């Protein structure tokens, strides 16, 4: 499938330069672009590589001279990176799954499927499930009993969604995502060493051997509209009330959202983030890769946590944090700088002590 430069520019609300009739069949990095590709040279640092490819047209930055770069045409959006969203959507070939209900799929007779729903090979749709219009459910996927899935969802292969989960429109689940598994919640017959350590802030305690008893998860999961859950990420069921993920939130690979957690709207949870139980996260929060969040705390709106931060206490709205334990980013960076200077400072102190103890320089 191909599109003219004029068609692409119109869909993006971008300016088209040069030959608007050029037909584009794919996207490519500048050095690897062929004559039918749109080279993605969104800023000047990528333009040098255009000479190594054979692109006739490129996505360029505002103010770029397409002719001087040896091109016949160009598209110039106001925000090139944002234009990538529309470009990649138009050029996405999809997974090539067949439409309709595959013969090997098992759909319970009591399940209700909307119009234009596709269910892949070896997929199970449980009793009482409600699947919205235009949903695509990939192969080897499990949709549990009484799950409610909104319209236009795309569920990739080998996803599981546990019973009673309620999910909004345009949900995307990547391969291996797990929604509404049981929360990790256990208790001992008497007070455990963990409870004692927490109350005493670390004091050891002798205790008899005790077995861990499961607290069952009755709350399932509630997910809003336009949410994405990445490969091998888990959103656990709540204990009594549902674990919640707000509209527009995007969850990366290998992320853990524990039982009873509430995540607000339009958050980004990057790879390897772990959020412990009953924590409340506000709107527009960004947690960088490998961020760990303690249980039963709150993080305010618009907080940004740098990668590998460990959040152990409440964070007020609007704060940018970093480190272990996470503190204001500027204070944490000052601490890092001071730590790097510490060996030199200790040497200077040692030299000063020698000079003070022997002021005349004698041995």
Dihedral angle of Cα 163, 165, 170, 172, to the nearest 10 degrees: -60
Q: Choose, from 96, 146, 216, 259, the residue flagged as catalytic.
A: 259
Helix and strand counts by DSSP (H, E) for the chain: 5, 39
Alpha-carbon distance of 139 to 176, in angstroms, equals 11
Is 216 annotated as catalytic? Answer: no
Alpha-carbon distance of 164 to 220, in angstroms, equals 6
Q: Are 155 and 135 in contact (CB under 8 A)?
A: yes
Question: Exposed/middle/buried for 132, CB within 10 Å: 0-12, 13-18, 19+?
Answer: buried
205-210-214 Cα angle (round to 5): 120
User: What is the Cα gyration radius of the chain?
Assistant: 27
Alpha-carbon distance of 165 to 174, in angstroms, equals 17
Q: Are 69 and 55 in contact (CB under 8 A)?
A: no
Active site residues: 259
């Amino acid at each position: 499938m191909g599109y003219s430069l004029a068609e692409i520019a119109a869909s993006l609300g971008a300016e088209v330069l040069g030959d608007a009739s050029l037909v584009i069949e794919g996207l490519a990095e500048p050095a690897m672009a062929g004559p039918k590709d749109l080279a993605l040279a969104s800023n000047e640092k990528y333009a040098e590589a255009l000479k190594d490819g054979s692109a006739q047209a490129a996505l360029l930055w505002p103010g770029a001279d397409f002719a001087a770069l040896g091109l016949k045409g160009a598209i110039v959006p106001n925000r090139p990176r944002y234009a990538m969203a529309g470009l990649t959507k138009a050029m996405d070939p999809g997974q090539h799954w067949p439409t309709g209900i595959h013969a090997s799929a098992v759909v319970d007779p009591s399940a209700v499927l909307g119009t234009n729903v596709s269910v892949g090979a070896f997929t199970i749709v449980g009793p009482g499930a409600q699947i919205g219009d235009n949903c695509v459910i990939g192969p080897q996927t499990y949709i549990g009993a009484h799950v409610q899935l909104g319209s236009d969802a795309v569920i990739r292969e080998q996803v599981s969604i546990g019973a009673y989960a309620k999910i909004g429109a345009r949900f995307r689940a990547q391969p291996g995502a797990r929604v509404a598994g049981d929360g990790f919640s256990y208790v001992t017959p008497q007070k455990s060493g963990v409870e004692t350590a927490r109350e005493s802030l670390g004091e050891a305690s002798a205790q008899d051997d005790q077995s861990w008893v499961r607290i069952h998860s009755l709350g399932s999961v509630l997910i809003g509209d336009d949410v994405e859950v990445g490969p091998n990420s888990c959103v656990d069921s709540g204990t009594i009330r549902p674990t919640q993920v707000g509209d527009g939130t995007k969850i990366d690979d290998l992320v853990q959202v524990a039982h009873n957690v509430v995540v607000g709207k339009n958050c980004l949870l990057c790879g390897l983030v772990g959020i412990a139980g009953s924590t409340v996260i506000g709107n527009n929060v960004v947690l960088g890769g490998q961020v760990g969040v303690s249980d039963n705390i709150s993080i305010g709106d618009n907080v940004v946590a740098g990668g590998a931060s460990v959040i152990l206490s409440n964070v007020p709205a609007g704060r940018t944090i970093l480190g272990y334990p996470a503190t204001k980013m500027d204070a944490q960076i000052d601490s890092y700088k001071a730590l790097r200077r510490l060996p030199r400072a200790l040497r200077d102190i040692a030299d000063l002590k020698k000079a003070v103890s022997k002021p005349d320089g004698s041995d």
